[in-house]
Amino acid sequence: MASFSPLVIIFLCIFFLSVNANEVTVGGKSGDWKIPPSSSDSFNEWSQKARFKVGDFLVFSYEAGKDSVLQVTREAYEKCNTTSPKASYTDGNTKVKLEQPGPVYFISGTEGHCQKGQKLRLVVVTPRSSLSPAPSPSDGPAVAPTSGAAKLTGVFSVVGLGLGLWALF
């Protein structure tokens, strides 16, 4: 049997454990990007109960042609300013990859919707090892079904961890 350096095994374990990106449906189980029915049902209330990691995808579902999603600066978020977004999405089923840690801001591009609460502020964190996952709140985000490739990643993570532990002992 080939002899592997413990450092190589540890690196492979960390690599396979760190590629667990999720697709998170904005708004949780309801999954609709629309004006919230009350301030207690706001997107920010929802986002505070969730953990968003670099590499995750946000999924916005809305009626194309009647609404949109704008990624904006903090100032534009606070003022509901739709004039110069960082990015604009109009397809009705938008996936946005969270690419760096820190705060991220989204508002509706439809006139008056942001002022009525259709806006989202969240904080993206650097992924942690799957060995110590954060607790998931019961009312947290709905995670979209993953592809077969994502399920294989989980298998590789377990196999990699097992090989790593076996090589160390």
The pLDDT confidence band at residue 29, using thresholds 50, 70 and 90, is: confident
Q: What is the pLDDT of residues 31-74, one digit of tens each?
A: 899 999 887 778 999 999 999 999 999 999 999 999 999 999 99
Q: What is the pLDDT of residues 71-111, one digit of tens each?
A: 999 999 999 999 999 999 999 999 999 999 999 999 999 99
Residue 62 CB partners (closer than 8 Å, separation 6+): 32, 33, 34, 68, 69, 92, 94
- pLDDT above 60: residue 164: no
DSSP type of residue 30: S
CATH (residue range 18-125): 2.60.40.420
Could you state, in order of their start, the residue ranges of all structural domains in the chain? 18-125
